[in-house]
Amino acid sequence: MRFLYLLFLVFVQISISNAQEFAQFEVMDANKIRFDGKLSRFFTVQEFEKTFGKTDSTALLMDIQPCNYIFEYEDGSKDADDEYWYKDGSRFERSKDRLAVDEFRFSNGHFILYDTIKLDASTTTADLAKLFPNATKAIDDIDVHGEGILQLIILREDDQNFSDGHICLFVKDGKLYFMHWWFPC
């Protein structure tokens, strides 16, 4: 019994340590992000088409069954015709006339303006370290399905840690590759 208690205390200490380390990571404020220099994270179908053109493909969310939906209702329900829209490797979630960025690829000239700083496929890990020094110090390798081994930088969504999710920046060959909004199931 004493061993289990000690094991429990070690687990609690590790959890607190990890939480404290995560709390030191910088926030990537979604309000300061403009995709292709124009769009915030949430926008309309018309704004999508004006900025990105037509989709490359679509897929019903009900067919893919992700563990969470950006446009999920408070009661957990979803619209049956909600879709993922794909463009140049990026993935957007559509519900009715609204879209949101789920995963954004820095390919084909796509970029974000973060505040006034342009982040694109030529952005290096050293450049990211200037913006997010604590999170970049904790960069780690991760095996991403279909992509291979990438480096991962995790950023918080808000100063108060109200969100369970975070923003993941993926780096390939020392350059910014894609970003993903991650939420637990």
* Amino acid present at 181: W
Backbone φ and ψ for 118, nearest 5 degrees, come out as -85, 125
* Residue of higher predicted confidence among 24 and 97: 97
- The DSSP result for the chain, as a single string, is -HHHHHHHHHHHHHHHHHHHHHHHSPB--GGGEEETTTB-SEEEHHHHHHHH-S-SEEEEHHHH--S--TT--TTS---TT-EEEEETTEEEEEETTEEEEEEEE--TT--EEETTEEE-TT-BHHHHHHH-HHHHHT-EEEEETTTEEEEEEEEES-TT---S-EEEEEEETTEEEEEEEE---
- Supply the mean pLDDT for the chain: 86
State the pLDDT at residue 1: 37
For the ranges 11-15, 50-54, 99-103, 150-154, the lowest mean pLDDT is seen at: 11-15
Summarised one tens digit per residue, pLDDT across range 62-100 is 898 887 888 888 887 888 899 999 999 999 999 999 999
Domain residues of the chain, as ranges? 38-110
